[in-house]
Amino acid sequence: MADASVRIAAASFDPEAEIAAFRRAHPDAGAIVTFVGQVRGDAGAVKTLTLDHYPGFTDVEIARIANEALGRWRLDGVMILHRVGALEPGEPIVLAAAAAAHRRDAFQAVDFLMDYLKTDAPFWKKETALNGESWIEPRASDYEDKMRWAIKPKE
Amino acid sequence: MATRVLFFGRLRDIAGAGERLVEVRASLRSIEDLIEFLAPEDDALRRALLDPSVKVAVDQRVVARASSIDGAREIAFLPPFSGG
C-alpha cells in the first residue's frame, strides 16, 4: 500500500534525518527521490521569510496533492514536510520525497509535488528585507509550471 | 451564533487582524453581502476582498461568491497561495 505523509512544522526540521527515516520506511523501493527547498537570502537582502497557513485546511489541501501524485505514478509512498512561521535564509522550508520501484516515477512525482505546492498549497509568504516587507504572490511561471501536468501520463 | 471571519496573507494586514466575529443576520445572504457588511467604510479592505484572485472558503470548503453563508461557522478569505 502506498502511503502519503503530510506534515506542517512550526519549528526548524532536519532534512537529512527526515530523508533517512523516509528511506528506512520504504526498504523495498528501488528509487528514492527527494527535494529540499531552502530560504533564499538574495545576498543578504532578505532577512526573514514568514509563512502563514490555515490550520485544518492547509493540511487537507496538501494531502490532496500528495494523493493525486499517488494516483498518477507507481509509487510506494510520498512525503511532504512544509515549514510555517518565521524562517531565516538557509533554513529548509520544504521537503518533498517519493519512493518508487523505478526512478522515473519518483522523479516525476517530486517534480509534480513541487509545482503543485507552489500554486495550490494554502500558504502565504511574507518577505522581510532591507527595503521593507512584502507579500509574495505566485508568478506567471509558477502557473505555467503547473500546467505541464494538465495532461495525465498514460498508464 | 457568531461566525468567525478569517483573513490570511496580505488580507490580514489590510483587515488589521486575522479574525473577526460577525453575527450573520438574515440580511447577509452571500459572500458579497458579507463583504459589504465587513467593510462599509473601508474601501481598501472592500477592494482587496472583492479582488477576483481572492478565494473564499466556507467551513473550509472553497465556494463561489454568490454562495449562501447561512449557518456558516467559519468564512475564510484566501489570497493567491505561495507555497514551496
pLDDT digits (tens, 9 = 90+) for A14-70: 999 999 999 999 999 999 999 999 999 888 888 999 999 999 999 999 999 999 999
3-state SS assignment for residue A51: strand
Residues with Cβ within 8 Å of residue A154, at least 6 apart in sequence: none
Which residues of chain B are within 8 Å of residue A119 when distances are taken between CB atoms? 81, 83
**Residue A68 one-letter amino acid:** E
Q: Do B80 and A138 touch (CB under 8 A)?
A: yes
- Beta strand B61-63 with B55-58 is antiparallel
Could you tell me the CA-to-CA distances from B34 to A136, B19, B39, B62 in Å, in that order? 27, 14, 9, 16
Count of CB contacts below 8 A, A vs B? Answer: 61
Could you tell me the CA-to-CA distances from A122 to A53, A146, B76 in Å, in that order? 6, 15, 12
Q: In chain B, which residues touch A (CB < 8 A)? A: 6, 8-10, 12-13, 57, 60, 76, 78-84
Q: Is A132 left (phi over 0), alpha (psi -120 to 50) or beta?
A: left
Helix-strand-coil split of chain A, %, nearest 5: 35, 35, 30
Separation between Cα atoms, residue A133 and residue A140, nearest integer Å: 21
How far away is chain B from the Cα of A93, in angstroms, using its nearest Cα?
7
Residues B5-48 have pLDDT tens digits of 999 999 999 999 999 999 877 778 899 999 999 888 788 999 99
Query: Closest-CA residue in chain A for B79?
Result: A124
Q: Do B8 and A82 touch (CB under 8 A)?
A: no
Identify the helix (H) or strand (E) that includes residue B75.
strand B74-78
Residues with Cβ within 8 Å of residue B46, at least 6 apart in sequence: B35, B36, B38, B39
Separation between Cα atoms, residue B62 and residue B77, nearest integer Å: 10
- Do residues A98 and A75 make contact, with C-beta atoms less than 8 angstroms apart? yes
Q: What is the pTM of this model?
A: 0.91
**Radius of gyration of chain A from Cα atoms?**
16
Residues A111-126 have pLDDT tens digits of 999 999 999 999 999 9
ipTM score of complex: 0.91
3-state SS assignment for residue A137: coil
Cell numbers placing A124: 502565504
- Could you identify the residue written with the cell 535564509? A89
Which residues of chain B are within 8 Å of residue A118 when distances are taken between CB atoms? 82-84
